[in-house]
A and B are shown apart, each in its own frame.
Chain A
Amino acid sequence: MDENVYIKTGVTNVPDEGGYFGEYGGRFVPETLVPALDELIVAYKEAMADPEFQHELAHLQTTYTGRPTPVTYAKRLSEHLGGAQIYLKREDLAHTGAHKINNAIGQALLAKRMGKHRIVAETGAGQHGVASATVSALLGLDCHVYMGSVDMARQKPNVFRMKLLGAEVIPVESGSKTLKDAINEAIRDWVTNVRTTFYLLGSALGPHPYPMMVRDFQSVIGTEAREQIVKEAGRLPDVCIACVGGGSNAIGLFHAFRDDKNIELIGVEAGGHGIASGEHAARFADPNMGRPGVLQGTRSFVLQNADGQIMNTHSVSAGLDYASVGPEHAYFRENEIAHYTVATDDEALAAFQTLCKLEGIIPALESSHGVAEVIKRAPTLPKDAVILVNLSGRGDKDLDTVIKELGMNV
């Protein structure tokens, strides 16, 4: 690895009091929500300092989510690629099948502590919606999930799951009918019912304190993985890889490694049909459309046209199909704490199949973008190099999409 291209600058104890990660982050919301965010900041700080809250969170993580999730050595994949040794952080094995539960449990406990029993959430792939519905059932909360109608069509099993779990799923027909529009509707609901309602935001996005809070609840991924990889591989990894939609699984993994100057962190955005096609969700990779801007409460990289209108995005994976990215990722990129690359739909679908066949693991299409980068990187590294990839979720929910994309007859 060329050490000169990888200089981690910038302090990593972000955000500041105003919720800024360098130039990114902040709180760009209607005034009606400002008091709710202020209240949330106070409640969150108190909860995190309260040993009882921490105990309850840790207890549920162990006895309900099934943490720690293992780190699995991908022996056949490593041999097949003929380079670095590959290890998978198995968030797909967490209850509900993805990392989203880590944050959902944390925020739901906080909601309960704040006396707010009505939960609104947005969902893209449905994994956060399922996690929110699950913890709402567990804690006796009233859960309402906004989901774009396009996403509902491509993630049907998750829609059914949420309904079984007692949540109301509200179809969103505005805009591109995907994650961004679901967030708009969830915020509109929150602004209307702000006194009684907790907005359980699913990614490291939105106004302060959400990017910080979601990161903190997800950082269990990296904290565990750091210990586990030393046990399994005998040392720390050379490279950590994770897919980046809003970026919660990636920030959760990266955080434990953010100060290690010799560990490369790579986030993988959705390249869709390729950057040149304009049909993608690659905020960092497309210099024409991806520029700093403000969307849904936070300043970060945003896919927008010259007039500042937000672009429609495309990805085969609903969970990466979003026009902005968590502000901490923008900060990590600017300060070279992490690097960002893309995987196209086709590369993700190929990686999906490879992991199925070689490891007996069906990854989520989101996570398959991370695996696609592993397939590119591993052969370029020596055999004693170690790659850790976050397998953020399992792919059962994606079977319909994959069958269609691959033209399979079942």
Chain B
Amino acid sequence: MMTSKMTGLEAIDAMFADTKEQNRAAFLPYFPIGYPNYAESIEAIVGMAEVGVDGFEIGMPFSDPLADGPVVQAATQIALENGTTVRDCIRAVRELRARGVHQPMLLMGYLNPILAYGIENFVRDAKAAGTNGLIVPDLPPEEGVLLAEVCHREGLALVFFLAPTSSNERMELVSKQASGFIYVVALTGVTGVRTELPPDLTDFIERLRKHTDKKLVMGFGISTPEQARRVGSLLDGFIVGSALVKAGKEGAAKAIELATTLRQALD
């Protein structure tokens, strides 16, 4: 469990130590701030924290989310229409900490709004609010040198991605640069619910383990307790996004309900 003395990164390490001790994978829900409105997004995340999820990917909306499928696109579009800004997302993290959310929170957003805010200012403000790390889907490690430096200095995790298309060399490069964990994309594609996980998943993960000793967290396409169990048996953690976003369309309750089911599937 996170204590105030830990850096953002150390709290993420502690999260994995906890889940490992419990012999299960970490469950990190994704939920965007400002969807379906600011207050409900806060309630959804507080509610999920209370039912014992392990950490959060807190979505910051962007006008052109090119790695996202229709569900997250529509949700973040609503968030933007509600006037949600980067500043609001940082404020949300502060508010969530005040509401007792103790789990690691990683801000997930595309690069341009972070650049517009200013890299130094963004990392400083996000950290001060209680953020543990950043996930930037359009930032491969080659382009992320400056952000990585600033995150490193401030003790925040900067999560990079690996995909089924990644070569062995790529796995080693990303492994060197990534901190906190590696976000493993389950399949070639955008975020969204899939009825089945790809059949070659085991081979892919075996190959990953050969080239990295970093924690591996899988996302893209996971939505059911069965999928959560399967992925949880293979990796250190998993992210569920679109399914929770879909459930949370009318408000927090349904999203919390689904998160509860997914969390219980791990026990």
Contacts and interface: CB of A to CB of B under 8 A. Distances in A.
A296 B64 contact: yes
A30 B63 contact: no
Given A32-B161, A188-B189, A294-B115, 7 more contacts: A29-B140, A31-B161, A36-B165, A181-B64, A294-B111, A294-B138, A307-B117
Interface string A18-30: 1000000011111
23 contacts: A18-B142, A27-B143, A28-B111, A28-B138, A28-B143, A29-B138, A31-B140, A32-B163, A32-B185, A32-B188, A36-B165, A180-B64, A184-B64, A184-B65, A188-B67, A191-B67, A293-B115, A307-B86, A307-B113, A308-B114, A308-B116, A309-B113, A310-B112
Nearest to A292: B115
Interface stretch (B12-20, B166-174, B239-247): B166-174
B137 interface: yes
A62 interface: no
A74 to B, nearest CB: 40
A28 B116 contact: no
Given A28-B138, A31-B185, A191-B190, A308 B113 contact: yes
Contacts, number: 116
Interface string B53-78: 00000000011111101000100010
B193 interface: no
A307 B116 contact: yes
B139 interface: yes
A192 B161 CA distance: 16
Interface string B110-131: 0111111100000000000000
A34 interface: yes
Interface in A23-54: 26-36, 38
Interface residues of A, number: 38
Main secondary structure of the interface of A (DSSP, over half): mixed
Interface string B178-221: 00000001001110000000000000000000000000000000
B85 interface: yes
B116 A192 contact: no
Interface in A240-276: none
B140 A191 contact: no
A181 B63 CA distance: 10
Contacts of A191: 66-67, 188-190
